[in-house]
A and B are shown apart, each in its own frame.
Chain A
Amino acid sequence: MLKRKAALAAIPIVIFLLGWEALSRGSLLNPYLFPPPTTILMELGNLFMKGMPAQSALLMHVGMTLWRVLLSVVLGIVAGVIVGVAMGLNRAVYSFFDPLITVLMPIPGIALAPLFIVWMGFGNQTIVSLGVLSAFFPVVYTTVAGVRSVDPQLVRAAQMMGSRPIGVVLNVYLPWAATYVFNGVKLGLARCWMTIIAVEFVAASNWGMGYMIWNAAENLRADVVYGGILLLIVIYFILEKALINRLESRTIARWGMIRQA
């Protein structure tokens, strides 16, 4: 069933790529602006081999971006959950942070890049800070909602059995909020990913997929730009499947708190 669905979804993509290939090879499309997909793949291969065996240029770009994204997402989640739990449990904390978050959340990470570059210069500090910020907001919001929706009977059950306040937070509020937090993490990952690629356009020195794509564009290498975009699609797909879906199936799905897709 699932295999068939995947096959059906692949058909339009294959037709699109074949059409592109044919038009480009037949010079009906400008091959400099629209290089054929096979050329793009070959160029990705070349980039992969470049610098080998010491270090592959392509892997360096990918690795650097992945490292920045993972670090930002982890820090963003930790900060978001801590602030979210505090806001969810305490009215005063909520009233303090809520207006700040409401004002800051709509600002796209890339819009803050110039400011952060002034503060911290080009490089990892700026990129990761903006990544953390973009992952943070959705996690805070969903964590607050999760904590507030807790089943009071479960809290009472834990208190009855002698659990101390910190134990109740860790053993009841947090696992209860997990379903919500995961939604926040998905949104946070998406936002963080976009922010980091975009900030790498302007603030990365030498490595990162955003840098690779920007640099290729400046050198009029459309094939590398396309290759980079293709990689963005593939890597994000893997990130979501490998990280989030796996985490979900091991936790909230196993606990019967969501039905698995």
Chain B
Amino acid sequence: MSAATQETAIRTGRIARTFIYVVLLVFALFYLLPFFVMLVNSVKPLSEITEGNMMALPKELTFAPWASAWSTAQIGVEPTGLRPYFLNSLFMVVPAVLICTALGALNGYVLTKWRFRGDTLLFGLMLFSCFIPFQIVLIPMARMLGIMGLAGSTAGLVLVHVVYGIGFSTLYFRNYYSAFPTELVRAAMIDGAGFFQIFWRIMVPVSGPITVVCVIWLFTNIWNDFLFGASFASGSKAPMTVALNNLVQSSTGVKEYNVHFAGAILAALPTLLVYIVAGRYFVRGLMAGSVKG
């Protein structure tokens, strides 16, 4: 009798699982559809797109739209392609992510292992900074950047993103480090390690998973940011997102949809790359914080 029950249990399990997989597959395809459209149309001549069928595969394969988007397309008034702006974004995102992650790790370390009076309040305030809408700070921030002489520069953008990202990076590292045994820090203190030695020799080596999470999160957000980029660094210092917008808006003559699609993919490529390279650590890192290792 128990064998029979078990068999039905397995069978219903199989049906349910098939159903789940089918649903998931449909969702996956649905999400992939826009990317498919972008990819297909970025390698078609413009004439094929204007004929009207966006879903069709290219009859004639061409990479000219990619080349154009990268180096010759009209961005605003200059025919530079997206290349210089891609570099702008890179020079913005790399320092911002590095500084923000480093400061977040240091904050997390202090907030969990060097508790002081008012530390919870301070952490609460930093958390609060995560929820301040971007729009509210635009004007004060513009004024601050002006005073500091950083208006319209990549350095200014780096500063803005560091200020905004530090709440998140601190949150990540604080939660991760709070599961890290305090006895280890005490042992290191008795062993004679100082504040930075403990951080560098004991904490940092075990911070891999959460660093990955933090880097992916910051990289994606900073790379994709439009508002700060458009507000604080227009013109030749604009980041990729702003340039992409300018590319699409530059309405001299016909809309080169294939070039636009190629440009959009170029703009999305770095975040895609970060996910592919580090994505599997992302989930692992998110888990590591919640389950005590």
Indicate, yes or no, whether A interacts with B. no
Interface residues, chain B, CB within 8 Å of chain A? Answer: none
Give me the interface of A with B, judged by CB distance under 8 Å.
Answer: none
